[in-house]
Amino acid sequence: MGAGAWGTALAMAAARHHPVQLWARDAAQAAHMQAVRSNPRYLPDLAWPAPLTATPDWDAAMRHASHDDGLFIIGTPMAALRATLAALPTHARVFWLCKGFEAGTGLLGHEIAAQVLPHGRVGVLSGPSFAQEVATGQPTALVASSFDAELTRLAVTALHSDALRIYTSDDPVGVAVGGAVKNVLAIATGISDGLNLGLNARAALITRGLAEMSRLGVAMGARLDTFMGLTGLGDLVLTATGDLSRNRRVGLLLAEGLALPDVLARLGHVAEGVYSAKTVAQRAAALGVDMPLTAAVNAVLDGRETPRQAVERLMRRDARAEATQTRSAATPQTPPPPPHC
Ligand SMILES: NC(=O)C1=CN([C@@H]2O[C@H](COP(=O)(O)OP(=O)(O)OC[C@H]3O[C@@H](n4cnc5c(N)ncnc54)[C@H](O)[C@@H]3O)[C@@H](O)[C@H]2O)C=CC1
Ligand SMILES: O=C(CO)COP(=O)(O)O
């Protein structure tokens, strides 16, 4: 469900092994894609495998994936996740690809699903994956995460291949927090690179960004080690340094001095970090978690600070210890050293 860049790319990857139906809300776009056997708007010049078909017919798409081994995959932006989940069959097995917190409510995907599809079997599919590279069959590794181990095994059956490795995880909170926060940090890195602050600054941003992402995740109940994996560090490195990233591009354009509405008009694709930045900060504030890089990105997005002012303020912060108190519940606390040690 959702025929943008990522929904289409994953549909193409799955269709190399199984029949796949791609639902597009725009009937004219669906008919055109079906006629030319590609998605000219989002992935031009990449021919579809024969088992991939496009349809604007919601009921037909529901029938297609409602059989015993069927799986729904939602590839819309985060803003459409709630409505799309709510329209699925009550007991649907579903993964979503969107990365972010829901604007307004500040909820993650599994929290939205608990409200609108309480009897569904749900999970999140995430990791370092530019749509263009998956669509062309370049090697990629993703993580299927759910509290439901049988569902993650179904994702492996549906998607694992020589080109696409699907790892499983039982920490959907950590996976979702990583995907949401890395988009905000990619905007920060784009700003830094756009201001030519250098490679040292970029490495510092990625590392301190990982620390603040982990702090938020652990406070929300995630495991710390999830942030060292594909959906944390892996996706952060990809998005912060890869020029195919829309979020990084937002930062680069802000550094050029463009106002946010002009940046978004230039982009033409969804950049979730722009919408998640506020909700990340709100959830962090509610949990008492310090997220200075996210706060700086918000100040620039809101026009309260110029990119350069935000950097200056970050650099003027007091010195502090690098190690944080971040510990997952599973990590044993180190006993204090004996006296005089
Ligand atoms: N593009 C990429 O490489 C990757 C994107 N993602 C995530 O996947 C999600 C989608 O991103 P893209 O495909 O890149 O976005 P996109 O901008 O290429 O396309 C979004 C698609 O969703 C459709 N859409 C919007 N609202 C809808 C609604 N209410 N109902 C149905 N369809 C709707 C649009 O018509 C468009 O086809 C985002 O959350 C993004 O963070 C995740 C990994 C990789
Ligand atoms: O999530 C992505 C890669 O894993 C895509 O990042 P952008 O949305 O910044 O392009």
Quote the CA–CA distance of 205 and 23 in Å, as a whole number: 38
Of 82, 182, 215, 223, the catalytic one is 182
- Same structural domain, 225 and 113: no
| Phi (first) and psi of residue 199, to 5 degrees | -75, -30
Same domain, 162 and 30: yes
Mean pLDDT of the region 113-124 = 98
**Percent of the chain, pLDDT > 90?**
91
Quote the CA–CA distance of 189 and 316 in Å, as a whole number: 18
Phi, psi (5° rounding) for residue 32?
-65, -45
In a domain, 323, yes or no: no
Tell me if 33 sits within 8 A of 39, measured CB to CB.
Answer: yes
**Are 200 and 264 within one domain?**
yes
Question: CB count, 10 Å around CB of 111?
Answer: 15
What would the mean pLDDT of 46-65 be, rounded to a whole number? 94
Residues at the binding site for substrate are 99, 246-247
Confidence band of 68 (pLDDT split at 50, 70, 90): confident
Residue 338 scores a pLDDT above 70: no
Question: Is any atom of ligand 2 closer than 6 Å to the C-beta of 245?
Answer: yes
* For residue 329, pLDDT beyond 60: no
CA–centroid distance, residue 266 to ligand 1 (Å) = 17
Kindly give the distance from the C-alpha atom of residue 204 to the centroid of ligand 1, in angstroms, as a whole number. Answer: 30
Alpha-carbon dihedral sign for residues 223, 225, 231, 236: positive
pLDDT digits (tens, 9 = 90+) for 147-187: 999 999 999 999 999 999 999 999 999 999 999 999 999 99
166 in the same domain as 74: yes
Provide the residue range defining the domain that includes 54.
5-170
The tokens of 156 are what?
Answer: 């492996």
Q: Evaluate whether 110 touches 172 at the Cβ level (below 8 Å).
A: yes
Any ligand 2 atom below 6 A from CB of 249: no
Looking at residue 324, what is its pLDDT?
63
Q: How confident is the model at residue 318 (pLDDT cuts 50, 70, 90)?
A: very high
Evaluate whether ipTM surpasses 0.95: yes
Pairing of strands 20-23, 121-126: unpaired
**Nearest ligand (C-alpha, residue 231):** 2
**178 and 162 in one domain?**
no
For residue 168, the Cα-to-chain-centroid distance in whole angstroms is 16
User: Could you confirm whether 182 is annotated as catalytic?
Assistant: yes
Residue 81: which CATH number? 3.40.50.720
Quick count: other Cβ atoms within 10 Å of Cβ 99?
Answer: 28
Q: Does residue 67 carry a pLDDT above 70?
A: yes
Q: Is residue 334 part of a domain?
A: no
Position 327 pLDDT exceeds 70: no
Q: What is the rounded CA–CA span in Å between residue 218 and residue 170?
A: 15
Query: Is pLDDT of 334 > 50?
Result: no
Identify whether residues 49 and 117 lie together within a single domain: yes
Same domain, 282 and 178: yes
Instruction: Report the pLDDT averaged over residues 24-49.
Output: 97
With CA atoms as reference, report the closest residue to 85 among 53, 107, 55: 107
Is residue 276 a contact partner of residue 100, using CB atoms and an 8 Å limit?
yes
Q: Please enumerate, by residue number, every residue annotated as part of a binding site.
A: 2-7, 25, 42, 99, 127, 129, 131, 182, 235, 245-247, 270, 272
DSSP letter string, 253-306: HHHTT--HHHHHHHH-S--HHHHHHHHHHHHHHHHT---HHHHHHHHHHTTSS-
pLDDT of the residue at 69 = 77
Domain CATH for 218: 1.10.1040.10
Overall number of domains in the chain: 2
Helix 199-219 to helix 172-194 angle (10° resolution) is 150
Report the nearest atom of ligand 1 relative to the CA of 183.
41
Which position has the higher pLDDT, 26 or 337? 26
Cβ contact 253:271 at 8 Å: no
Ligand whose nearest atom lies closest to the CA of 269: 1
CB 248 within 8 A of CB 188: no
